[in-house]
Structure 1
Amino acid sequence: MRPLSMVTKVEDRAPRVVAAQPHGPAAAITRRAADRLRAGHLWVYRSDVESLVPPIGATEIAPGALVTVMDSRGIPLGTGLYSSASQIAVRIVSKEAALPRTTYLEQVRERLHAALALRDELAPESMENDAHRLIFSEADNLPGIVADRYNDLITLQLLTQGTAQDDVRQLLTEVLRERLRPDTGGITIWERPDPKIRELEQLAPPTPGPLHANTTESPQLTTIFTINGLQFHFDAGSGQKTGAFLDQRLNYAAAARYASGNALDICTYQGGFAIHLAQNCRQVTGVDASRSALEVADRNRDLNPSLAAQVDWIEADAFELLREYESTGQQYDTIVLDPPAFAKSKRAAEGAMRGYKELNLRAMKMLRPGGTLVTCSCSHHVPLQEFTEVVSAAATDAGRHVQLLETRGAAPDHPAILTLPETSYLKCLICRVG
């Protein structure tokens, strides 16, 4: 048995002596956390770690190391990627204990091939769609790894200390090169850092330049991709998240089916909903607080000259503009609300609900009888039931008869894990407002 002096206390709790202590690093967790893992959850929060056991000869666990997770009795529950900084202290990668890194990398390779095969089935490349999510972290059993495809450009995010490492980069680059367009000029792969996540995980910036280029000339940073038969600009060096909101792909098309007349798209970003609405509306106004996003939206509109609707862009704060429009009696036939995540933590959820209610209340008051409201939330801290309830409360306060026509989520290339509710983050309600 290793001396107790080698066990790291967590949050000043006295460490427990655990049975069958492994030779490698380990984390002993609370009974509540162990029950969650046994039920299929994949995260261990830092507040649920009772003690950390470094490997023999070390005084602490290395950031990004693979650790055996044990319950308070010392019974192994699996192996996970350890973070020394994140509030998610361990992300489970295997039910097998004491998994060596070589075996973990073999599993990453197998799971990557499985994820790409699933995308071939769910979102095959075609003239209508050549952009989709390739890897979705825990949903593909690849925690801390996200990859999106935009035509011939791939953006890769390595979001944890255990995955932002050269062996993972090399493996992913190798497989993606082999699997995607090997006979037609290939693809360019960029690692796209998420500044906030990198700060939380205490990660250094990635090495400049592409992980792989499809040309010996200047590395390709931009392309034009197609979703639902419409074209959009993509720049791997700018924009939010991995560059565009591919999770809304089928919701864009659904919104367009219901849209008519005069439409308002709140938080349009680069015009995803607005340009789809323009297929069936006579007038579309897209609103966003970001001038740079609206400049891209305007370029996207120019890429689709066959759209009949007149499309205008307004740089404004969504709340301020809706208050002004409501006070002046503006009316619309279709309104889309697609704000950024209001609740980025559980503590922010209450304020987020107030924000969602205000947006939906004002939109309902501005819709003509029989109008369509498409309202979205991408906050995983706001479950579907609570989001639906807040939209219902807005309907009551607005005095409108609101029919729920469709409840939608992310496109299937963004699958959710039933035992990890956090992966069911996107909600989209399509309503008829009487």
Structure 2
Amino acid sequence: MSPITAQLILKPKREKSVLNRHPWLFSGAIGRVDGEPQPGDLVQVLASNGRFLATGYFNPHSQIRVRLLSWDVDEQIDEDFWHGRLQQANRHRQRLKLEPATTAYRLVNAEADGLPGLIVDKYDDFLVIQSLTAGVEAHKEIILAALNEIWQPKGIMERSDADVRAKEGLPKISRVASGESPPETLVIQENGIQFGVNLLHGHKSGFYLDQRENRTAVTHPHHVANKTMLNVFAYTGGFGLYAIANGAAQVTHVDSSYDALVLAEQNVGRNGWKRPQDEYLAGDAFDILRHYRDTDQTFDMIVLDPPKFAHSQRDIERACRGYKDLNWLALRLLPPGGLLATFSCSGLISTELFQKVLFGAAVDARRQVQVIQTLTQGPDHPVLLTFPESAYLKGFLCRVW
């Protein structure tokens, strides 16, 4: 059992977020610290009158000073705690009945599963973990042992290489944490479509698992059959492969990474499709879209799935300009009746703000735009009501005229 090393006493009238069970406690709410906790140590959070509020893990290097784990004074944060939370997440995923058609999905979604800073993804017989906080780092060996006991994978990869670790005072790590190393290209299935993924060097944990339901919705046959698609920020094929499976006449994949596009083309062949008509363009998405605008190129459907544009509050204005320019360019390339599927994975950009940005792009492009479906992350990426920040992925499927 990990001992409680300190007590954090809040300033007067600063306990509301803790009482509302938001799992983050910022440094500005803390009045004093009784004890000398180290990064990752367990601490108790007390109201200004000394009343117990919650237990969490501490990090003096982060503005999020405590990540809260439990609001029960009697709950011990020990091996049984970690094992129980992981088992609960496992039960929730089993109820989704994703397999056998889908063999890659999220098992643990950090705060939304009551485990702040821990992400676990399943890729066939392998697991990929991301340790994003000092608290998870301090308990990582316990967590790895529980993962092996519950899921019995062939191997566990650690992809703790996200930029957010720097804010926690942690180095980036990418390694085989347990068991076998996966093949350089591991083949997974998503809704029966085969994708090759690189678990040690691919984006995120290897694949964009959160877009699974959106790939299905956007590429329904009545949207894509016998149509042309421009798949921007295509990575290893994603939306484009779903469109091919549903009868798209031609798909153009655009990404900044040549290696990702090579894997995308291999994924097309891996599914038995011969597609000489498709294109794979490596380059800057904005430049390519401008070229299409200047040459009067059009597409029946465009998918925009860019990386995160806003990493902090100071990035929001610049990010909104980027999203607006991107969507403005795309709207210029669609004929009347064309479809635009546009996304933001920036947690700091709300759905309402993203819709306002899209509205601005539509006005400037002088196009009428109908939202025909609002899109979000899949059910294996749940949203915790007390932690609205867990609703990070938002998108709109739009008809343009």
The count of aligned residue pairs is 395
- The answer for the alignment partner of 1:225 in structure 2 is 188
Counterpart in 1 of 2:121?
148
Please report the TM-score for the alignment, with normalisation by the length of structure 2.
0.92
Residues 296-331 of structure 1 show CA distances to partners (whole Å, capped at 9, x for unaligned) of 222222212237683211111111221221122111
Aligned-partner Cα distance in 2 for 1:70–1:275: 52
Distance 2:201 2:339 in 1: 32
Deviation at 1:175, TM superposition (A): 3.4
Task: Give the direction of change, closer, same or farther, for the CA distance of 1:135–1:274 in structure 2 (3 Å limit).
Answer: same
Task: Give the fraction of aligned pairs with identical amino acids, expressed as a percent.
Answer: 37
2:308 match: secondary structure: coil
1 CA distance for matches of 2:250 and 2:369? 24
Match of 2:67, SS state, is strand
SS at match of 2:278: strand
1:45 aligns with 2:45: no
The equivalent residue for 2:203 is 240
Structure 1 portions without partners, runs of 5+: 1-21, 55-59
SS of residue in 1 equivalent to 2:206: coil
CA contact (8 A) 1:376 1:427 kept: yes
How many Å apart are 1:378 and its aligned residue?
0.3
For residue 224 of structure 1, report the CA deviation from its aligned partner: 0.5
1:386 matched to 2:353? The reply is yes
Give the match for residue 6 of structure 2: 25
User: Does residue 1:338 correspond to 2:302, yes or no?
Assistant: no
Partner of 1:68: 44
Among 136, 140, 147, the alignment partner of 1:163 is 136
What's the counterpart of residue 359 of structure 1? 326
Pair 46,240 (structure 1): closer, same or farther in 2 beyond 3 Å = farther
Question: Which residue in the other structure is 1:16 paired with?
Answer: none
CA distance in 2, matches of 1:98, 1:351: 46
User: Which residue is equivalent to 1:124?
Assistant: 98
In the other structure, the counterpart of 1:312 is 279
Equivalent position amino acid for 2:79 in 1: L
Is residue 264 of structure 1 aligned with residue 230 of structure 2? yes
Structure 1: distance between partners of 2:24 and 2:310: 19
1:176 alignment partner in structure 2: 147
Match of 2:363, SS state, is: helix
Contact map agreement 1:264 1:284 (CA 8 A) in 2: yes
| Aligned residue number for residue 390 of structure 2 | 423
The equivalent of 1:107 in structure 2 is 81
Unmatched tracts of structure 2, length 5 or more: none
Deviates more, 1:364-373 or 1:169-178: 169-178
SS in 1 for 2:359: helix
Which of the pair has more CA radius of gyration? Answer: 1
Give the CA RMSD over aligned residues: 2.2
Q: Give the 3 Å change call, closer, same or farther, for CA 226–309 of structure 1 in structure 2.
A: farther
Mapped contact 1:33–1:44 kept (Cα < 8 A): no
Question: What letter matches 1:79 in structure 2?
Answer: T
The alignment's TM-score, normalised by the length of structure 1, stands at: 0.85
Asked if structure 2 preserves the Cα contact closer than 8 Å seen for 1:137 and 1:144, the reply is yes
Partner residue of 1:11? none
Specify which of 406, 412, 417 is matched with residue 373 of structure 2. 406
Residues 23 and 209 (structure 1), Cα distance of their counterparts in 2 relative to 1, 3 Å cut: closer
**CA deviation string 1:166-223 (max 9, x = no partner):** xx3343333333433x5xxx5221112224233222225559533123xxxx665542
| Matched-pair contact (CA < 8 Å) for 1:278–1:309 | no
